[in-house]
Amino acid sequence: MSQDNKLSLWQKLKRLLTSPAPQPVYSDEAQTPETGLGRETGHSSEKKPKISLVKSRPTTPIVDTIKQFLQSKQWHYTYYRPRADDTQQSHHLSLRMRNGRLDCGYLFRIQETNALLAVYGILPFVIPESHQSAAMLLITQINYDMIIGNLEMDVNDGEIRFKSAIDVEAVGINDTIIEQLLQSVVAMTTVSFEIFDDLLNFENPSEDMQTLLLELRQQSDARTFYLPTQFVQ
């Protein structure tokens, strides 16, 4: 077993959040880029290449493609039509899914006007006001180093969800794209559930990041201390 596989969830999270920024690598041919500030640009004979992003609207409405995907999986879902005054034509499809011991809701949000698709994984509990400061601290730090997607909390009721989204005009849409997008949301929602479930087990969680991570790591270690290893005796 590799050393990375031995790390607990909170050891991995702490390593992610506290790892130093990678150092730049310079080659012999690398040159410092010029901004062109304070220079006359009219004398340059070189033409700069233009970057264009070709976009094409899907011929089938996005919501119909999502419905066909869910129906092919034989998953039950609830569909919500756009409001009459909704200029973005926002469609919503909700369903419940189980991943291990986690049973929570997922939501597809489609804006047909802008060809945008977002998928949300919503945790099955809310964060009480007494824990919301610590939760926001965690969410801010986790989002800081996240490349795709983000965690969100509604401070009105303490709901926490993970969101990931795509521009359908730019990347297209098919069953593979939908499945990969949904799987990534399910995976991150599962991790988020473990994080914030541990947080709720503290009566008075710390509002200092390092102390909070240490408390959560101890909570996770206490829960997994007696689990069997993967070594075969």
**Which structural domain, as residue segments, surrounds residue 104?**
54-224
**Is 141 a member of any domain?**
yes
Residue from 59, 85, 92 nearest 168 by CA: 59
Q: What is the pLDDT of residue 99?
A: 81
62 within some domain:
yes
**47 in a domain, yes or no?**
no
17 φ, ψ to 5°?
-80, -20
Look at residue 40 and tell me if it is in a domain. no
Q: Residue 10: pLDDT above 70?
A: no
pLDDT in tens, 108-143: 999 999 999 999 999 999 999 999 988 998 899 889
- We report the CATH number of the domain holding residue 212 as 3.30.1460.10
- Provide φ and ψ at 197, rounded to 5°: -65, -40
Q: What pLDDT score does 37 carry?
A: 42
More confident residue, 14 or 152: 152
Per-residue HEC secondary structure of 171-233 comes to HCCCHHHHHHHHHHHHHHHHHHHHHHHHHHCCCCCCCCHHHHHHHHHHHHHHHHCCCCCCCCC
What is the Cα–Cα distance from 186 to 210, expressed in whole angstroms? Answer: 27
The number of distinct structural domains making up the chain is 1
Q: Could you tell me the two tokens for 104?
A: 């929570």
Q: Is residue 203 part of a domain?
A: yes
Question: Which of 33-42, 69-78, 166-175 has the least mean pLDDT?
Answer: 33-42
Domain assignment present for residue 30? The answer is no
178 domain residue, yes or no: yes
Per-residue pLDDT of 167-226, as tens digits, reads 999 999 999 999 999 999 999 999 999 889 988 888 777 666 677 667 667 666 665 544
Asked if residue 198 belongs to a domain, the reply is: yes
CB 93 within 8 A of CB 80: yes
**Do 117 and 108 meet the contact criterion of CB atoms below 8 Å apart?**
yes
